[in-house]
């Protein structure tokens, strides 16, 4: 009997190794949102393949995603107020809660321990523990007695801080969560009419809100909040004819490339080039349609632009050296979102009405792969875990 023990031990060890075959790292993973299926595909970005499909995620018509700092978990923010935590290692939905009636995105704190969600209904921000999704703080966006504002443009900032805008109130608030028992709010009023989205610069210093109700942008320097909010580009498009807006631009997709900021012009067929040092307009680049996402390749050598209907079958590539469109691509029907691989050698593009995701080589602009996906409307890679504002 004793002679059998070593053999049995080796057999059990071999079975254990077999069960752990093909160990998975998470740095090469991402999610593709399937809006009509209330689902997300876990994908491998190097091998261009689907690993799993996670269902039961609710209304994903305006879904966004952030990742835990270890890149194991993805947090999906649904339009129905759902907050879903997906385990990328075990291909499963770890936890899901309904935290509001209508939400529009979220962010993860600097230390990765807090998840904040911005809500339309009821207007405000809720903050949850990243591990359990237990409620930590409830911040109503009340700007006058009995009136709450829709919250937009929520981003993370250094110092355990979140920054967001109040659409109905025309305000920007910062929320310091260093002390969970005593969150600290700082409010900036009168920043402009109807801030509809915002971004934060890659180093976490400048928060910029776009204004839908009037000309210009609202800029808050988080290194000097005592200086308040300043208006930049206050006269851009002021005298122009107001054109119908077919899809609101997404400002978190604005492109920072060195000292230049590339921004979509609301309702116009232009991408604005702004000098980040002086916050003045350098140039307007004509493009084929109304831009939605304006996204820089990680090395800042290119900026890729997609468009609202009826031009949403096209992509244009801007050369950041020449500040001009260098290439126009027609990948398919309803280009909704794009995402670069971490070092920018490829870009993945969601084609909602073709039920596909197409992958391009960004150097040659040649198609590399196509993957099936049902009505994809968002692509998010786990490398976002290590970027401010993503």
Q: What is the pTM of this model?
A: 0.91
The whole-number pLDDT of residue 17 equals 41
Q: How far apart are CA 121 and CA 171, in angstroms?
A: 17
Calculate the CA dihedral of residues 188, 190, 193, 196 and round it to 10 degrees: 0
Residue 341 C-alpha from the chain's centroid: 14
The whole-number pLDDT of residue 19 equals 45
The whole-number pLDDT of residue 384 equals 96
> Which residues sit opposite 142 in a β-bridge?
148
User: Domains in the chain, please, with CATH?
Assistant: 102-129+138-238 (2.130.10.10)
pLDDT digits (tens, 9 = 90+) for 82-99: 999 999 999 999 999 999
Please name the residue that has the structure tokens 């879903």. Answer: 84
pLDDT digits (tens, 9 = 90+) for 235-270: 776 655 554 554 555 666 678 888 898 988 888 899
pLDDT digits (tens, 9 = 90+) for 322-362: 999 999 999 999 999 999 999 999 999 999 999 999 999 99
Largest CA distance in the chain: 93
H or E stretch at 54: strand 49-54
pLDDT digits (tens, 9 = 90+) for 164-212: 999 999 999 999 999 999 999 999 999 999 998 898 998 999 999 988 8
Strand arrangement, sheet containing 82-87: 64-67, 73-77, 82-87, 92-98
Q: Among the listed ranges 17-26, 209-218, 286-295, 334-343, which one has the minimum average pLDDT value?
A: 17-26
Task: Write down how long the chain is.
Answer: 390
Strand arrangement, sheet containing 102-108: 102-108, 114-121, 124-129, 135-140
Return the structure tokens found at 301. 């050598």
Q: Angle at the Cα of 196 (from 140 to 286), degrees rounded to 5?
A: 165
Cβ pair 356, 370 in contact under 8 A: yes
Q: Among the listed ranges 88-102, 209-223, 309-323, which one has the minimum average pLDDT value?
A: 209-223
Q: How far apart are CA 36 and CA 31, in angstroms?
A: 15
Distance set, CA 276 to CA 206, 261, 273, 281, 385 (Å): 10, 6, 9, 9, 25
Q: Angle at the Cα of 352 (from 350 to 353), degrees rounded to 5?
A: 140
DSSP code of residue 45: T
């Amino acid at each position: 009997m004793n002679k059998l023990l070593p053999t049995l031990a080796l057999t059990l060890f071999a079975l254990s190794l077999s069960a752990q075959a093909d160990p998975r790292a998470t740095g090469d993973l991402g999610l593709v949102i399937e809006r009509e299926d209330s689902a997300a595909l876990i994908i491998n970005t190097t091998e261009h393949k689907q690993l799993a499909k996670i269902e039961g995620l609710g209304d994903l018509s305006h879904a966004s995603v952030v990742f835990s700092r270890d890149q194991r978990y993805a947090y999906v923010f649904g339009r129905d107020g759902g907050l879903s935590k997906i385990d990328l290692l075990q291909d499963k939905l770890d936890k899901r809660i309904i935290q509001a009636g209508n939400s529009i995105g979220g962010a993860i704190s600097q230390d990765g321990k807090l998840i904040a969600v911005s809500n339309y209904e009821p207007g405000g921000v809720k903050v949850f523990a990243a591990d359990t999704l237990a409620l930590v703080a409830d911040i109503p966006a009340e700007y006058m007695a009995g009136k709450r504002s829709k919250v937009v443009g929520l981003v993370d900032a250094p110092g355990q801080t979140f920054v967001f805008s109040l659409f109905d109130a025309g305000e920007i608030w910062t929320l310091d969560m260093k002390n969970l028992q005593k969150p600290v709010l700082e409010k900036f009023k009168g920043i402009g009419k109807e801030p509809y989205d915002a971004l934060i610069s890659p180093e976490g210093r400048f928060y910029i809100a776009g204004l839908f109700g009037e000309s210009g942008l609202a800029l808050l320097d988080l290194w000097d909040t005592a200086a308040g909010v300043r208006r930049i580009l206050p006269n851009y498009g002021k005298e122009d004819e107001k054109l119908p807006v077919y899809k609101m631009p997404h400002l978190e997709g604005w492109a920072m490339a060195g000292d230049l900021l590339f921004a979509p012009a609301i309702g116009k067929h232009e991408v604005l080039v702004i000098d980040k040092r002086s916050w003045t307009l350098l140039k307007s680049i004509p493009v084929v349609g109304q831009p939605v996402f304006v996204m820089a390749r990680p090395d800042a050598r290119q900026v890729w632009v997609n468009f609202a209907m009826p031009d949403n079958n096209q992509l244009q590539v801007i050369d950041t050296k020449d500040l001009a469109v260098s290439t126009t691509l027609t990948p398919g029907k309803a280009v909704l979102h794009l995402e670069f691989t971490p070092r920018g050698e490829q870009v993945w593009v969601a084609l909602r009405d073709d039920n596909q995701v197409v992958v391009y080589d960004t150097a040659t602009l040649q198609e590399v792969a196509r993957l099936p996906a049902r009505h994809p409307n968002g692509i998010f890679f786990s490398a976002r875990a290590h970027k401010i504002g993503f």
